[in-house]
Amino acid sequence: MVNQSNGETPSVLMVDGMALLFRAFFATSWGGAVKKNREGVPVNAVHGFLRILGDAVRRIKPTHLVCCWDLAGGSFRAEHFPEYKGNRPEAPDDLIPQFELIKTVTESFGILNVSAEGYEADDCIGTLARRFAQQSEVFILTGDHDLLQLVDERISVMIMKKGAGNYAVYTPAFLLEERNLTAAQIIDLKGLMGDTSDNYPGVRGIGEKTALKLIQEFASIDGILSNMENLPAAVRKKIEADLDMLHLSRSLATINCEAPLNVELSHCTWIVDRDRVTAICEKVEFKDALRWIG
């Protein structure tokens, strides 16, 4: 079964795989009990992943689907800043076997899995989103606000919120309305304030409130640096003391939209084989398969 868009512009749903999988795992293991199949393999994250994605599929009705993944071994960013993501805890033991299992499941659902050695899922998403937006509408499903830098007239970013089926769908207009920022300014904001989750500091002593005020006043990091004489002395001193880290943090925050991916829109056409879906759902004991395949 190929999902059709009634002859209109194709629609691509791009999935931030790890973001969904981690969210699904913690949402279904908070009580300490992790669901396992009859073979003793944990499947709670797989089930949660499919429910989250299934809801988005019913909402978007995409003609094309692709799921992007991080690979073990890190990315080029760690070569420039060895501490990058160095504060991340190890994945829970019950989640680890689900990393490869979910890829088998998504493939069985007719979804293309994509990754690139030395690049993050964000880079794969950015590369394909920009490529596909030339001929289709693109929707990115994630919990990662870094991906807001990709928002444009043909690319919407769906940020998962608490509650099933609850998303904030960011278009350029909504991003400007909610945060008074453009997509490009998301990068410069992160360059200034850093990112504790990714473990890079930005300018020490400048937090989100100050960073936001500076970006809104001077439009960009370049605008700030061109108006150093107009900054409060304390802020100017902090930026001058951390200028190299400011530039490095902005680079680390920037999604690379030139990842080496030999993937075209036609490769992501969503085709569902009912027998394959039924078989994999039986293996992972997922009982909601009919909500996917009708």
pTM of the full structure: 0.94
Total number of residues shown for the chain: 294
Joined tokens for residue 112? 């293309």
- The whole-number pLDDT of residue 110 equals 96
Whole-angstrom Cα Rg for the chain: 20
- The whole-number pLDDT of residue 293 equals 58
What is the spatial distance between Cα 101 and Cα 104, in angstroms, rounded to a whole number? 5
pLDDT tens digits in sequence order for the chain, 294 residues long:
334 344 478 999 999 999 999 999 999 988 778 999 999 999 999 999 999 999 999 999 999 999 999 998 889 999 999 999 988 899 999 999 999 999 999 999 999 999 999 999 999 999 999 999 999 999 999 999 999 999 999 999 999 988 777 889 999 999 999 999 999 999 999 999 999 999 999 999 999 999 999 999 999 999 999 999 999 999 999 999 999 999 999 999 999 999 999 999 999 999 999 999 999 999 999 987 666 655
CB 46 within 8 A of CB 284: yes
CB 42 within 8 A of CB 25: no
Collect contacts of 204-208 with beta carbons under 8 A, ≥24 apart.
204/238, 204/241, 204/242, 204/245, 205/238, 206/235, 206/238, 206/239
CB 127 within 8 A of CB 259: yes
Q: Please, what is the angle between helix 96-108 and helix 274-284, to 10°?
A: 160
In the chain the domains, ranked by start, together with CATH numbers, are 11-174+256-293 (3.40.50.1010), 183-253 (1.10.150.20)
Other CB atoms within 10 A of residue 244 CB = 8
Joined tokens for residue 137? 């509408």
> In which order are the strands placed within the sheet that holds 11-16?
112-114, 64-68, 11-16, 137-142, 155-160, 167-170
Joined tokens for residue 246? 């400011």
